[in-house]
Amino acid sequence: MDLYGEFAVEPAALKSWGNFRELESHFGFSKGPLISRYPRRWVDDVKKWGRREFGGTVRISDFTNKLKHIEQYALVPSGRSFEGSKSWRENVVENHAKRSFAKIIASGTGIHSDAIEFDDLDAAVLDSFGQCMLPQRVDDFCKATRLLLINSKNIKFIDPFLSPKRLKMIIAMIRLARDGRAQSPVIELHTSSIRSGQSVDLAGERSQFREELVRRGLAEQSIKVYWWKDEDTKEIHPRYLITEKGGIQFDRGFYESPELSAKEGTFPAVVLRQSIVTDIFNRYRTTTSSYQCVQEESF
């Protein structure tokens, strides 16, 4: 099982309103399965289909709104080639051999063993995404979260035990999120001001964060750190990766522990529904949070 899976969807495979509704209902960063923008004109091709099917009817407005939602929350750049002289089916099979899709939704399944039709888009396919048992290693975290990181503009790492000594994994994820992008995403690190019942030395930790970010070549990179306190429990406990696109909850923090065995170091990670993502996003924003932000610092 994986957190996210990139599906190639042939626009010509859309045959009904029900097919289109399945794209909106089952795909997105809050669900797990994602739609590859393959080819780059995928949205335009689906628009043409929708206008042909629903133009002049009351359904066209609903179609337009749902397609915008798909484009914002479910569509990801493919980064694969597409030769105009070949059909979608020929192109997708060639590219699948080079860098595989999770599944191919096509009109007819004879093109490849990984191809399915909309009628085959059932729980057996969809439930393979949205949750996984994740090894607590840097490479595994980066692989599992890659599609969310590289497609987000505002990224929050939330871990109550996050400290300057535990930045290796997060720095690798930050570099992944920023690699090759013209405009770097906004990065926020959220941690607790009380750990294991003890108040954090904020002045000392600010200095240590700066030293560590300089040492790792991330100084002056617009990274902001927040220290929080829950008025009731004093400490905050959740571990999340939250963006404007979606979110993931982790059973353990962003830390690779050499002491853990392979079995002990594997734990659940779950994709969060959009309503929960929105709630958490606002919970770790100073203007809307019920927590007390005791310190914030830009690096």
Q: What is the pLDDT of residue 221?
A: 66
Extract the runs of DSSP E, i.e. beta strands, from 58-117: 75-77, 103-105, 115-116
Q: Which residues pair with 2 in a beta bridge?
A: 129
Note the pLDDT tens digit of each residue in 146-184: 999 999 999 999 999 999 999 999 999 999 999 988 888
Res. 232 pLDDT band, cuts 50 70 90: low
3-state secondary structure of 158: strand
pLDDT computed for residue 87 by the predictor: 95
Q: What are phi and psi of 188, to 5 degrees?
A: -125, 135
Kindly tell me the sign of the dihedral angle through the C-alpha atoms of 273, 274, 277, 282. Answer: negative
pLDDT surpasses 70 at 261: no
Report CA-CA distances (Å) from 98 to 75, 87, 92, 94, 152. 21, 17, 10, 7, 25
Question: Alpha carbon of 139 to those of 4, 176, 192, 218, 286: distances in Å?
Answer: 16, 11, 25, 19, 32
Asked if residue 265 has pLDDT above 80, the reply is: no
**Which sign, positive or negative, has the C-alpha torsion 132, 135, 136, 138?**
negative
Q: How far is CA 175 from the centre of its chain?
A: 15
Number of Cβ atoms within 10 Å of the Cβ of 33: 25
In the prediction, which pLDDT does 230 show?
A: 74
- The domains found in the chain, sorted by start residue, are 5-126 (3.40.50.11490), 131-298 (3.30.870)
Interval 218-225 mean pLDDT = 81
pLDDT of residue 186: 94
Q: Are 184 and 216 within 8 A, CB to CB?
A: no
Instruction: Say what percent of the chain tops pLDDT 70.
Output: 95
Instruction: Report whether pLDDT(252) > 60.
Output: yes
Which pLDDT value is given to residue 182? 82
Q: Which residues are registered as beta bridge partners of 5?
A: 33
Residue type, 65: N
pLDDT of residue 228: 93
**C-alpha count within 13 angstroms, C-beta hemisphere, residue 166:** 19
- Across residues 97-109, what is the average pLDDT? 93
For residue 183, the model assigns a pLDDT of 87
Report pLDDT digits (tens) over 115-132. 999 999 999 999 999 999
Least confident of 26-35, 79-88, 257-266: 257-266
Banded pLDDT at 262 (limits 50, 70, 90): low
Residue 255, both tokens:
């830390």
Mean pLDDT computed over every residue of the chain: 92
Q: What is the phi/psi pair of residue 278, to 5°?
A: -60, -40
Instruction: Pull the structure tokens for residue 124.
Output: 């057996």
Q: Which residue has the tokens 């595989």?
A: 100
Q: What is the pLDDT of residue 110?
A: 85
pLDDT (0 to 100) of residue 218: 82
pLDDT for 235 beyond 60:
no
What is the per-residue pLDDT for 234?
57
pLDDT at residue 256 greater than cutoff 90: no
What pTM was computed for the model? 0.93
